[in-house]
């Protein structure tokens, strides 16, 4: 079964998950962003998620939140807001299965995007089932934006697919190139494959088999495959704008770099740091995944990132570059 990608479909009837606060909306107003927030996602949930939701709501007067989770956690957000701000909060009370219910808010037209710091596998599975996958994307990819000495770089996958085959990484190369073009504004993105050396033949069996496929692969946004890159190229950012790897290696690299940057500072200290959040590419909606160890400011940044992606219609623009207009629910 296929259906249009979220953003091109009229909102369906909202299926009630639980009690809702005054001011519930089913259609977003111009300039608003309706973000579903998984209150139980994260190692320190719900407290840290409540903190992040409050920060995000107070920082963006055009933000509307649907808080999905237990009543006491949702009430903590409402109690801390001014009465006028409470009108921008919808509560979806559910004691469990919060990610699936939050994804359904997007599928049914009640929210524009989802933010969760919960289990990555659960989030990816719920998004794929409820929102559908783009044609040819059997395994969606989590794409993170990293600061580098030369600017910003897209790293994918960072945790969704830990054991991909060559065809999966080839699809991820296309997703990453479109993402770099739309979100980072890169003209003719350079796509590299992460391995242990830049010389031909370096790496494990998968990394040795993939270059011939990438060399012949048509990439969107006039992107081009530039060959093998190493870990130092990810920090410097001068060799590639997109770095493709498996989710296991990408997650290890991401967490190591973030810890190093926290201790020593990023390689370009005068630039704004991108949010510590990843966009799930290949599903029919905007799904942002934060670290399980995310702090309140991290969650707020993730919510702000999701709102910006929605306002720029980024997921639809990426799909357009890849010539996808529908998703599959098979």
Across 183-205, average pLDDT: 90
Same domain, yes or no, for 79 and 151? Answer: no
The confidence score (pLDDT) of residue 282 equals 94
Across 120-144, average pLDDT: 93
What is the DSSP secondary-structure string of 96-164?
S-HHHHHHHHHHTTS-SEEEE-S-HHHHHHHHHHHH-B-TT-SS-EEEEEEEETTEEEEEE-SSS-SS-
The confidence score (pLDDT) of residue 86 equals 84
Same domain, yes or no, for 133 and 146? Answer: no
**Left (φ > 0), alpha (ψ -120 to 50) or beta: where does 31 sit?**
left
Residue with tokens 């993939």, as numbered in its chain: 210
Same domain, yes or no, for 188 and 123? Answer: no
Same domain, yes or no, for 118 and 144? Answer: no
For residue 25, is it within any domain? no
Same domain, yes or no, for 256 and 144? Answer: yes
Q: What is the CATH number of the domain that holds 90?
A: 3.40.50.10950
**What does the pLDDT look like over 1-37, one tens digit per residue?**
555 555 443 333 222 222 233 333 344 455 789 999 9
For residue 18, is it within any domain? no
Same domain, yes or no, for 144 and 250? Answer: yes
Same domain, yes or no, for 158 and 270? Answer: yes
Closest of 152, 138, 141, 161 to residue 189, by C-alpha: 152
For residue 73, is it within any domain? yes
The confidence score (pLDDT) of residue 245 equals 96
**Left (φ > 0), alpha (ψ -120 to 50) or beta: where does 237 sit?**
left
For residue 221, is it within any domain? yes
Mean pLDDT lowest for which of 20-24, 25-29, 287-291, 302-306? 20-24
Same domain, yes or no, for 268 and 297? Answer: no
Residue with tokens 């992107």, as numbered in its chain: 223
Exposed, middle or buried by CB within 10 Å (0-12, 13-18, 19+), for 1? Answer: exposed
For residue 26, is it within any domain? no
Same domain, yes or no, for 160 and 231? Answer: yes
* Structure confidence at residue 252 as a pLDDT band (50, 70, 90): very high
Same domain, yes or no, for 124 and 2? Answer: yes
Contact 37/65 with Cβ under 8 angstroms?
A: yes
Same domain, yes or no, for 148 and 223? Answer: yes
Position 182 pLDDT exceeds 80: yes
For residue 22, is it within any domain? no
**What does the pLDDT look like over 72-117, one tens digit per residue?**
888 888 888 888 888 888 888 887 788 999 999 999 899 999 999 9
Q: Strand pairing partners for 327?
A: 3
> Mean of the per-residue pLDDT values for the chain?
86
Same domain, yes or no, for 259 and 162? Answer: yes
For residue 17, is it within any domain? no
* Structure confidence at residue 162 as a pLDDT band (50, 70, 90): very high
286: helix, coil or strand?
strand
State the residue range of the domain holding 4.
1-8+31-137+282-312+322-330
Gap between the Cα atoms of 84 and 321, Å rounded? 40
For residue 13, is it within any domain? no
The confidence score (pLDDT) of residue 26 equals 41
> Which runs of consecutive H residues, i.e. helices, occur in the chain?
47-59, 71-80, 83-86, 98-107, 120-131, 166-183, 205-216, 231-236, 247-264, 296-311, 314-321
How many structural domains are present in the chain? 2
Position 45 pLDDT exceeds 90: no
The confidence score (pLDDT) of residue 204 equals 85
The confidence score (pLDDT) of residue 97 equals 83
Note if the pTM is more than 0.75. Answer: yes
Q: What is the CATH number of the domain that holds 228?
A: 3.40.718.10
């Amino acid at each position: 079964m296929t259906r249009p990608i979220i953003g091109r479909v009229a909102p369906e009837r909202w299926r009630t998950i639980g009690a809702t606060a005054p001011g519930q909306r089913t259609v977003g107003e111009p300039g608003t962003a309706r973000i579903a927030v998984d209150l139980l996602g994260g190692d320190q949930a719900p407290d840290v998620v409540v903190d992040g939701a409050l920060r995000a709501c107070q920082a963006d007067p055009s933000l509307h939140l649907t808080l999905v989770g237990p009543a006491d956690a949702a009430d903590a957000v409402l109690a801390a807001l001014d009465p006028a701000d409470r009108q921008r909060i919808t509560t979806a009370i559910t004691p469990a299965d919060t990610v699936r219910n939050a994804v359904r808010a997007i599928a049914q037209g009640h929210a524009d995007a989802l933010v969760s710091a919960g289990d990555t596998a659960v989030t990816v599975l719920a998004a794929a089932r409820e929102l559908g996958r783009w044609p040819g994307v059997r395994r969606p990819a989590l794409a993170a934006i990293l600061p580098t000495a030369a600017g910003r770089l897209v790293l994918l996958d960072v945790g969704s697919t830990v054991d991909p085959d060559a065809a999966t990484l080839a699809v991820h190369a296309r997703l990453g190139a479109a993402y770099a073009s739309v979100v980072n504004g890169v003209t003719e993105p350079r796509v590299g494959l992460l391995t242990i050396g830049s010389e031909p033949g370096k790496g494990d069996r998968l990394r040795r088999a993939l270059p011939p496929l990438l060399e012949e692969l048509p990439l969107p946004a006039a992107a081009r495959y530039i060959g093998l890159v190493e870990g130092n190229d990810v920090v410097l950012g001068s060799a590639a704008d997109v770095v493709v790897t498996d989710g296991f290696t990408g997650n290890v690299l991401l967490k190591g770099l973030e810890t190093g940057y926290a201790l020593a500072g990023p390689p370009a200290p005068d630039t704004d740091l991108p949010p510590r959040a990843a966009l799930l590419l290949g599903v029919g909606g905007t799904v942002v995944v934060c670290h399980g160890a995310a702090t309140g400011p991290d969650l707020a940044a993730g919510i702000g990132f999701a709102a910006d992606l929605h306002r720029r219609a980024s997921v639809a623009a990426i799909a357009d570059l890849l010539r996808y207009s529908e998703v599959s629910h098979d």
